[in-house]
Amino acid sequence: MGKFVVKETATGFKFDLKATNGQVIATSEVYTTKAACLNGIESVKTNCVGGVEDQTVEGFETVKHPKFEMYVDKAGEYRFRLKAKNGEVIAVSEGYKAKDSCENGIESVKKNAPEAEIEE
């Protein structure tokens, strides 16, 4: 089972969602308070059931929120961002060389986030 790891930074709090093998699969923005960070985790847990909008293909179909947006960054790597019902970005991935790996990352969030424990 995955886990959310909450970390204090110089400017606030952030979380990483880690898979069972310890690999980071999604990261949050920096929140000003720990409470806001914990709310962000709850938001990921409830919104990770959304569909996938594959922005890497021509004429992609728009998916309603909540959703994962898969895209190619400036470095040519595949990434995803999870958006809540209100359209806010609540978690982002690392860059992946292969599209398959990015899709696996999304599946890992869907599988791990709902039941993940929170480690502070």
Residue 1 pLDDT > 90: no
Count: domains in the chain: 1
The CATH number of whichever domain residue 109 belongs to comes to 2.30.29.80
Instruction: Give the tokens for residue 49.
Output: 């059931």
Predicted confidence (pLDDT) per residue in 16-40, tens digit:
999 999 999 999 999 999 999 999 9
**Per-residue exposure over 20-35, b if at least 16 CB sit within 10 Å of its own CB, e if not:** eeeeebbebbbbeeee
Query: Is the Cβ–Cβ distance between 74 and 60 less than 8 Å?
Result: no
Q: Using DSSP, state whether 47 is helix, strand or coil.
A: helix
Percent of the chain scoring above 90 in pLDDT: 98
CB distance 28 to 90 below 8 Å: yes
Convert the pLDDT of each residue in 87-111 to its tens digit: 999 999 999 999 999 999 999 999 9
Chain mean pLDDT for the chain: 96
Arithmetic mean of pLDDT, 1-21: 96
Query: Alpha-carbon distance 91 to 94, whole Å?
Result: 10
The model carries a pTM of 0.94
Domain hosting residue 23, numbered range: 3-119
